[in-house]
Amino acid sequence: MKKFHIEGPYITLGQLLKMLDVIDSGGQAKHFLMDVEVKVNDEVETRRGRKVYPQDIVEIDGFGSVQVVQD
């Protein structure tokens, strides 16, 4: 499992997908989440604005798992 470091208290799911190079722009997040199963802490998530906090685990079908950690 990869670790992704953030500086603030959280990152939105759409921002995280972009920072991981899963999508090219934040505008693609909505469509990506409709087409690809993404789980946050084992719960399927379809909201690009979902706040992802340190210690949360994001599983992206076909891309693997990432744990968010704070610097």
DSSP string, the chain: -EEEEESSS-EEHHHHHHHTTSSSSGGGHHHHHHHS-EEETTEE---TT-EE-TT-EEEETTTEEEEEEE-
CATH 3.40.367.20 fits 2-70, yes or no: no
pTM to 2 decimal places: 0.93
Tens digits of residue pLDDT in 29-57 = 999 999 999 999 999 999 999 999 999 99
Domain residue extents for the chain = 2-70
- β-strand partners of 67: 3, 57
Provide, rounded to the nearest whole percent, the portion of the chain with pLDDT above 70.
100
